[in-house]
Amino acid sequence: MGFVDNKKDKPVDEKTVFRTASLSKPVFAYLVMKLMDEGLLDLDKPLYQYLERPLYEYPDYADLKGDERYKLLTARLLLSHQSGFPNWRYINRNGCLDFKFIPGKMFKYSGEGYKLLQFILEEITGKDLNSLAQEKVFLPLNMSNSSFLLEKRFDDNFAVNLRTGLRRHLEKTRTVPNAAHSLLTNTADYAKFLLAVMSGEGLNPDTFKMMLEPQVKITSENLHAPQNTDPKIHETTPLTWSLGWGRFRCSQGEALFHVGFEEGCDNYAVIFLDRGTGIVLQSVITSSEGIAPSIGKELIGDIYSPFSWLFY
């Protein structure tokens, strides 16, 4: 519902492409698992061992020079947000990348972790993220309106006004894909992805099982808060993180979820594994009022997703 361009009264249709923000992360995690199936990556091999030079000799990671903790990083830790990195380095006053704790010790949501794993994969394969995603994910799943780059073919049916202040931010993705937040897609394509995740399509059975397994318990009061020592927190709806997805358990069984919320967009996806149902919501917003709780409840009876933990 709504319009792609209010000035031209052009309505949203089934092919309209939206920014997904962090709904990019589960798609990237699925790509990582496919590359693992091909023998290109070991989830538990220290990532620095894939590089020809020490990590800190690469410009984007020069800040880590002198801190040997980077040698502890693995794909498993990065996908489950146990890297020890902040969400983004610009949050630090000095704008530098650093560790907040020893990798593997706890959960801390981090886009930097996903960006580093993207860099490693590109070094291993010699291909950029979008090329890998097209080859391994979008084409096999028939996601014809998806890309980690803002392509010209989307310009006439893209759910954001490029004349706004977001233009500079978005135009960067013309040439620079980002595993943590640059995926552009529509609900039909993302629904195909959710069906693949529910069935394990494209993955070896053991890999599929591994992708869904909880990796770390979450004890924070919200997505970006420090971990809490209260053993009873989230007692009603226990929260964990798997490889690429948040996970909770409720009276309807096990469920995977992810949010995609940043300036100008509000997205949410959840799949109830035991029920075999799910939903993906995409929207362009101008305020902080999330739409997912009310729509999820109305359409699939979702009264279980941890929306308060996600700032809704």
Residues 262-296 have pLDDT tens digits of 887 889 999 999 999 999 999 887 555 678 899 99
Residue 312 counted as domain residue: no
Residue 281 counted as domain residue: yes
Residue 161 has pLDDT above 70, yes or no: no
Residue 308 counted as domain residue: no
Cβ atoms 242, 80 nearer than 8 A: yes
Residue 248: predicted pLDDT = 95
235/196 Cα distance (integer angstroms): 30
Average pLDDT for 13-42: 95
Residue 12: pLDDT band with limits 50, 70, 90: confident
**Tokens, residue 165:** 């202040």
243/26 Cα distance (integer angstroms): 8
119/177 Cα distance (integer angstroms): 11
Q: What is the CATH number of the domain that holds 146?
A: 3.40.710.10
Cβ atoms 107, 241 nearer than 8 A: yes
Residues 227-266 have pLDDT tens digits of 877 766 776 778 999 999 999 999 999 999 999 988 878 8
CB burial of 7-44 (b: ≥16 within 10 Å; e: otherwise) equals eeeeebeeebbbbbbbbbbbbbbbbbbbbbbeeebebe
| Ranges of H-type helices in the chain | 24-37, 75-79, 111-125, 129-133, 167-171, 187-199, 205-212, 292-300
Rounded to 10 deg, the angle between the 111-125 and 24-37 helix axes is 40
How many structural domains compose the chain? Answer: 1
Residue 120: predicted pLDDT = 98
Residue 306 counted as domain residue: no
Residue 203: predicted pLDDT = 98
Q: Tell me which amino acid residue 49 is.
A: Q
Residue 302 has pLDDT above 60, yes or no: yes
Residue 4 has pLDDT above 70, yes or no: no
Residue 263 counted as domain residue: yes
Residue 87 counted as domain residue: yes
Residue 4 counted as domain residue: no
Q: Which residues pair with 278 in a beta bridge?
A: 271
Angle, CA of 258, 298 and 221, to the nearest 5°: 40
Residues 173-218 have pLDDT tens digits of 888 999 999 999 999 999 999 999 999 999 999 999 999 999 999 9
Range of the domain at 207: 9-300
Q: Tell me which amino acid residue 240 is.
A: T
Mean pLDDT rounded to a whole number for the chain:
91
Residue 165: predicted pLDDT = 64
Residue 311 counted as domain residue: no
The set of residues, in sequence order, having a beta carbon less than 8 Å from that of 21 and lying 6+ positions away, is 181, 260, 261, 262, 265, 267
Residue 5: pLDDT band with limits 50, 70, 90: low
